[in-house]
Amino acid sequence: MDTKVIPLHTRIHPSAIVHPKAQVGAGVEIGPYTIIGENVEIGEGTKIGAHCVIEGWTKIGRENKIYTGAIVGSEPQDLKFGGEKTYLFIGDNNIIREYATISRGTEGGGGETRLGNGNLVMSYVHVGHDVQMGNHCVVAHAVGIAGHVVIEDRVVLGGIAGIHQFTKIGRMAMVGAHSMVTKDVPPYALVDGNPARVYGVNIVGLRRNGLPPETRIEIQRAFKILYRSGLNVSQAIEVMERELAGSEEIDHFLRFLRSADRGICR
């Protein structure tokens, strides 16, 4: 029996402007009045809506969805930027909603902005230059992420939150809506307020991400040592190393605390 191969056709609206040197994969859809720049690469199956601008040295992976009015790969909003060649890398299966803006990197910040796989970036979000975002994050409406921010995997940022430059947000942390984050958010934490304060462990997030009960209990013990024992961070790390059972999650928690140069939310 013969197998019929159905080719993946790229569909580009007649009103779209796609530079002839742009690399557009099979099955890509580009909507009306969208502009694709010279140095852009778009992976197979990605869908780009109307009135979008994809520019600069931007590489987008497979099966992404980019909605109306998004501006992706624009020059950094940084007065030190001098037009140098910098990059934006976006992985696979991301959703970038209406009017979001994502900037390329700067020479002084490593030269690249990165988004991993499976992220949801909602409408009017700004992702600043040199941001490093992991996988499966949810960034709600109108969040502002300043330059040089690191966001680990499976983080949730509530609507209209502001994330200060050079801060780090640990894996599976949740930031409440309207919060202002000016210090590092430890992994697994639930923070809220202006300035953001820690209110406990993101237990719901840990459950949703499949962490077993014994691991959740160890994380709660770690937070009790860090936040309720009266110890400073260095002292709390020593106690955690001595008293907690070894696990990948606790090891990661300790690594994060050791590298929190801006201090942590308390």
Tokens 């402007």, residue located? 17
Q: Which amino acid is at 165?
A: Q
Name the residue among 122, 123, 63, 110 with its Cα closest to residue 90.
63
What CA–CA distance (Å, rounded) separates 69 from 34? 8
49 Cβ contact partners less than 8 Å away, ≥ 6 residues apart: 31, 34, 66, 67, 68, 69, 70, 98
In this structure, are residues 70 and 101 in contact, taking their beta carbons and an 8 Å threshold? Answer: yes
* Type of residue numbered 243: E
Angle at 208 between CA 207 and CA 213, to 5 degrees: 20
Give the active site residues.
129-130, 147
